[in-house]
Copies of this chain bind each other. A is one copy, B any other.
Amino acid sequence: METTAMVLDKVNSTQDLKNLSLEEMNLLSGEIRELIMKKVNTTGGHLGPNLGIVEATIALHYVFNTPEDKLVFDVSHQCYPHKILTGRKEGFTDPDKYLKYTGYTAPEESKFDLFKVGHTSTSVSLAVGLAKARDLRGGSENIIALIGDGSLSGGEAFEGLDNAAVLGSNIIVVVNDNDMSIAENEGGLYANLKLLRETNGQAECNFFKALGFDYYYVDNGNDIESLITAFKQVKDTNHPVLVHIHTLKGKGCPAAEQNKENYHWIVPGALDNNPAPTVLEEETYTSLTTDFILDKHSKDNTVIAISPATPGVSGFTKEFREKLGKCYTDVGIAEQHAVAYASGLAKGGAKPILAIMSSFVQRAYDQLSQDLALNNNPATILIFWGGITGADATHLTKYDIPLISNIPNIVYLAPTNKEEYLRMLEWSTEQKEHSVVIRVPMTEVVSCGKEDTTDYSVLNKYQVVESGSEVAILGLGNFFGLGQKVKSLLKEKTGISATLINPRFITGIDTELMESLKSNHKLVITLEDGVLEGGFGEKIASYFGNSDIKVLNFGARKEFTDRTPIEELYQRYHLTQELILEDIKKCL
């Protein structure tokens, strides 16, 4: 890409695209691909999905009159070519601006982006809304939803398709079928997609036709000419159509073409080293988890690990999955099913362990409540990455405590060290009384140095780590370490020997212990690595509401932050020992 004669130089808007020849568009595809590889290899990001969708993005913007015609991305892992073509190419050509734009569609960046999206399976429903609004307004623009085959396994996508098909007016669903989710696709639907690919879209038994769509198939979904032909055919349709395009995930990057899972999203530098994914040698809470499951599995064939299409989140590597064999299920992007499935497994006498990222467990609230907790089935759910982070707004992981801990019956545990975590895992998988959720620590592995022998069936029993007076510090889960630091600093600066408590249980109050604090404490502070609203600390504040004990709750505020550095968030929320000390002093 050293030449100055790039086609991209003359493409500053989607209008410019319309003046290009087919040859130029083909050149442009290559240029965009190079930019994406270079940029993603520098910053990290989604590689495979974006490389596969380059030609389709060009063809869509060539045929349709965006932004009047509205293009809705699903999950938007595949929006980089779109960003390049819609006024944001500097974010890919200029290393200084690599971080200027998010990795997801973002209406505040461009009028070509309709929704801020980062969870899957939403595009069709959102597009149906846009299309219906157009009909009510009397408009005539095209509404296009671009959804990957992986996203089709999510129930929301089905609900959207089912409704889109009966809209009775213009809506165009483009299914980008690269035969992969993040990992392999799982589910019966994918055999039908395969059949459709193998029959050039001609098979009579057709999932999309069964839902009522007028169906089109493009076998070479990386061929701009074919795509343009298909999109022109369906442009301005007066009824719901679905265009199924067969693309190659990772196209143009041999490593990504060959190892689609590992190159779905890459870390900086991944393309330089042509790496096998690094096997981490040090112990992590992830490795503790997989080691525990493998060990359990070797003794008990009813132990089964489950992932909703995000095995990487929990360290469920290909090797791990192969070792488990039939005792591993990837349910596809189907969090609702994952939770209900786990409940059924537990009811049926198996020992399910469902690993799910905090941000995605949001998709299964009702299943946690109705399918699982109401039935008290003894499944184990591991929440990964729960805590305050500098992530983009669509992948915040600070809401799981309010989400889960306010559901009756569930026992939500917050381990603070390795020994506790392993004990909780063992207890949870063997007990038969409760639906248990464990918030896997996001910290480095901490050892307390001795085996934990706690009986966690005695619910809501907090651990007093150090007895003191005047101030009691409740350091929940990830923030127990912060609690230790606060205690030290408080001692150093004020001489106060605070009581340090490890609550362990997020879902209940140790009322006996709390009562005992009243005799020689003036202030209780709570520390939680999550949003305060609806969380742990507020319950403690409510508990002490009618007493003389004062309570200070520390945690995140209820807000969608977007790639805000975590240090900034810690300052904003007073989540450093120094700031907490200041607040304590004001209160005493």
Q: Of A157, A204, A343, A545, which is in contact with the most chain B CB atoms at under 10 Å from its CB?
A: A545
Report the Cα distance A409→B365, complex, angstroms.
Answer: 19
Can you list 23 A-B contacts with CB-CB less than 8 angstroms, sorted by A residue number? A107-B375, A114-B347, A116-B374, A125-B336, A126-B341, A128-B337, A129-B344, A129-B352, A131-B344, A135-B326, A153-B159, A155-B158, A156-B336, A156-B340, A165-B191, A192-B211, A205-B206, A207-B210, A365-B366, A369-B399, A541-B542, A545-B545, A545-B550
Task: Verify B159–A154 contact, CB threshold 8 A.
Answer: yes
A72: B residues at CB distance < 8 A: 344
Interface 1/0 per residue, A103-119 and B, CB below 8 Å: 00001000000111111
A36: B residues at CB distance < 8 A: none
Of A221-229, A416-424, A553-561, the stretch lying at the interface with chain B is A553-561
Report the Cα distance A550→B421, complex, angstroms.
Answer: 37
Report the Cα distance A226→B80, complex, angstroms.
Answer: 56
Task: Verify B544–A545 contact, CB threshold 8 A.
Answer: yes
Task: Verify B370–A332 contact, CB threshold 8 A.
Answer: no
A539: B residues at CB distance < 8 A: 533, 538
Query: Which 9 residue pairs are nearest across A and B when measured between Cβ atoms?
Result: A129-B344, A155-B155, A133-B348, A165-B188, A188-B212, A125-B340, A159-B337, A545-B551, A406-B534
Known: A116-B375, A159-B336, A541-B541. 18 other contacts (CB 8 A): A115-B344, A117-B370, A125-B337, A126-B341, A133-B347, A136-B302, A136-B304, A159-B331, A162-B188, A162-B189, A166-B186, A188-B240, A204-B204, A206-B210, A365-B365, A399-B406, A402-B534, A541-B542
Please give me the residue from chain B that is nearest to A409 by CB atom: B560
Task: Verify B166–A340 contact, CB threshold 8 A.
Answer: no
A255 on the interface (CB 8 Å rule)? Answer: no
- For the side of the interface on A, what is the size category? 35 or more
Binding site for B on A (CB under 8 A): 70, 72, 107, 114-119, 122, 125-137, 153-166, 186-189, 191-192, 204-207, 209-213, 240, 301-302, 304, 326-327, 329, 331-332, 334, 336-337, 340-350, 352, 362-363, 365-367, 369-371, 373-375, 393-394, 399, 402-403, 405-409, 531-535, 537-539, 541-542, 544-547, 550-553, 558-560, 586-587
Task: Contacts A126-B343, A370-B118 given; indicate if A132 touches B545 (C-beta within 8 A).
Answer: no
From B125, B128, B341, B369, give the contact of A125 (CB < 8 A): B341
Report the Cα distance A122→B337, complex, angstroms.
Answer: 8
Please give me the residue from chain B that is nearest to A524 by CB atom: B545
Min CB distance A565 to B, Å, is 19
Task: Contacts A159-B153, A304-B136 given; indicate if A340 touches B129 (C-beta within 8 A).
Answer: yes
From B187, B365, B407, B553, give the contact of A165 (CB < 8 A): B187
Task: Verify A161–B188 contact, CB threshold 8 A.
Answer: yes
Task: Contacts A107-B375, A337-B160 given; indicate if A394 touches B365 (C-beta within 8 A).
Answer: no
Please give me the residue from chain B that is nearest to A70 by CB atom: B348
From B128, B133, B337, B532, give the contact of A542 (CB < 8 A): B532
Task: Contacts A134-B348, A163-B187, A375-B107 given; indicate if A340 touches B122 (C-beta within 8 A).
Answer: yes
From B206, B334, B542, give the contact of A551 (CB < 8 A): B542
Please give me the residue from chain B that is nearest to A195 by CB atom: B210
Task: Contacts A133-B350, A370-B119 given; indicate if A545 touches B552 (C-beta within 8 A).
Answer: yes
Task: Verify A207–B207 contact, CB threshold 8 A.
Answer: yes
Report the Cα distance A576→B271, complex, angstroms.
Answer: 67
Copies of this protein, total: 2
Min CB distance A345 to B, Å, is 4
Report the Cα distance A558→B70, complex, angstroms.
Answer: 44
Please give me the residue from chain B that is nearest to A114 by CB atom: B347
A406: B residues at CB distance < 8 A: 399, 402-403, 531, 533-534, 558
Task: Verify A546–B587 contact, CB threshold 8 A.
Answer: yes
Report the Cα distance A209→B206, complex, angstroms.
Answer: 9
A119: B residues at CB distance < 8 A: 366, 370
Report the Cα distance A207→B158, complex, angstroms.
Answer: 12
From B191, B365, B533, B586, give the contact of A405 (CB < 8 A): B533
A373: B residues at CB distance < 8 A: 560
Please give me the residue from chain B that is nearest to A560 by CB atom: B408
From B153, B345, B402, give the contact of A129 (CB < 8 A): B345
Report the Cα distance A163→B403, complex, angstroms.
Answer: 26
A547: B residues at CB distance < 8 A: 550
A344: B residues at CB distance < 8 A: 72, 115, 125-133
A545: B residues at CB distance < 8 A: 541, 544-545, 550-553
Q: Of A162, A166, A373, A553, which is in contact with the most chain B CB atoms at under 10 Å from its CB?
A: A162
Q: Of A327, A374, A538, which is in contact with the most chain B CB atoms at under 10 Å from its CB?
A: A538
A135: B residues at CB distance < 8 A: 326
A586: B residues at CB distance < 8 A: 546
Task: Verify B534–A132 contact, CB threshold 8 A.
Answer: no
Please give me the residue from chain B that is nearest to A127 by CB atom: B344
A394: B residues at CB distance < 8 A: 370, 374
